Structure formats: C-alpha cells, structure tokens
Amino acid sequence: MIYLLYGTDTHSARKKLHELLDLAQKKRPNAELFKINSERWDENDLDELIKSQGLFEKKYTVVLDNVFEKENAKEVVLDKLEDMQKSEQIFLVLESAVNADVVKKFEKYSEKVQKFEKIEKKDKFNIFWVADGLLQKDKKSLWVSYLEALSKGAVAEEIHGIFFWQIKNMILASRSTSQTETGLAPFPYKNALTGSRKYKIEELQQMSSELVEITHKVRRGEGEIEVMLEKWILGR
C-alpha cells in the first residue's frame, strides 16, 4: 500500500503524514516503523523493506521522507512502485515537489495521492522569502528575514529545510547547462542560477554540509536549532 503526500505546503503535508502514522500505530501498536530520508538513502535497504517482514508481525510502515533529493533515488522508487504496491507493507512517501509525470506514475499504484499547496496572498508573508538573502549573498538581509519568519510563526526546522533546498538548487543550477537538466521549474531555476553566480561551488557545498551537521547536532541533543541557525547566518 502506497500513499504519496506532496506539495509546497510542507507543514500541512507533514501534519497529514503524522496523522497517518498515528492511525497506523493505533491499528497495529506492535508494528515496526522505518524512516528513510535523503541522508540515509540506500537502494538495498528499500529492497529489503519491500521483501522482508517485521520483527514482531508481518506488516510494518515505511516512511520515505524527501528521498528524491538524493541523486537517482526518484528513478529507483518509481521502478519499484509495483513491488511496493504488492508488498504487505505500508509506504508513506513525502515529497515537497514532484512533476506531473511522477504524480501520474504514483496514481497508478497508490492507495492515495494527496497534494498540499500553499495559497499565497500578496499581503501575507511568504516563508520562501526567508532564503532571498542567500540568493543575494547578503548576511544582514538573511538575518532580518530569519528573525521576521520566526516572529510570524515559522518553525526553525522549516526554515532550515528552505535554506538547504535553496543551496541545493544553486548547486544544481551552477552545474547544469539548462533549466530542463536541473528538473527545476523556470522561476526557481532562474533565481538559483542568479544566486549561484555570487558563490564559488566550494562555498555552496560547505554551506550544505554545515546545514546537514546542524541536523546531526540537534538529533544528538547538542543545542537548539533556532540558535544554531542564527549563528550559521551570522557566520556567513
């Protein structure tokens, strides 16, 4: 059984994911839960999860959390959709952005495909503006936008994800010869390409690694993500 949750409204999509996980836990309290993200992606692990059985009962739940950020992961998952559908396990797939062809492929094999789209109004704060300072390589602008986003109720985890996404886009744009090659929509590609020209590729890779390290430190209980992100911004 497969569920695809996707769209720009990452907060609502993740909320729905937790609702599905809570429901699965109530129905199968002893079932195992496996989570795979782009940092822990391994094709062999997915194969094993599709074919194997849980330790305490036959069924368990697998969460694929934005694994398409990993090179080649999307192609692997799409190739295995039929096997995932036939498996006794539940696969919950969460992605921030997928194109129409991917959605169509999921619709063929999934129990449900649900899109979560933000409706932006001109008089409303756009959370993605928080990364404009990165594109401009403007530390002061980046810091002010970060504080404004927090004051308007944005959570640091979401802002961290947007920073990582924007830097990843700049890396893709700097290495590509066309918008089509990156897989990005025209507007994000144009922004990313313009921003990437203000950095050396080594700078972008270093920033990406630093954001990943922040995630690891938070998980190890070595600090608060809000404070770490602010220090990261001021260290630009």
Higher pLDDT, 17 or 28: 17
Question: How much is the pLDDT for 124?
Answer: 61
CB 137 within 8 A of CB 199: yes
The tens digit of pLDDT for each residue in 82-113 reads: 999 998 889 999 998 899 999 999 999 999 99
The tens digit of pLDDT for each residue in 169-228 reads: 999 999 999 999 999 999 999 999 999 999 999 999 999 999 999 999 999 999 999 999
pTM over 0.95: no
Contacts of 126 (CB under 8 A, 6+ apart): 120
Average pLDDT, the chain: 90
Domains and CATH numbers, the chain: 2-115 (3.40.50.300), 127-234 (1.20.272.10)
Cα–Cα dist 153/108, whole Å: 37
Q: What 3-state DSSP class applies to 25?
A: helix
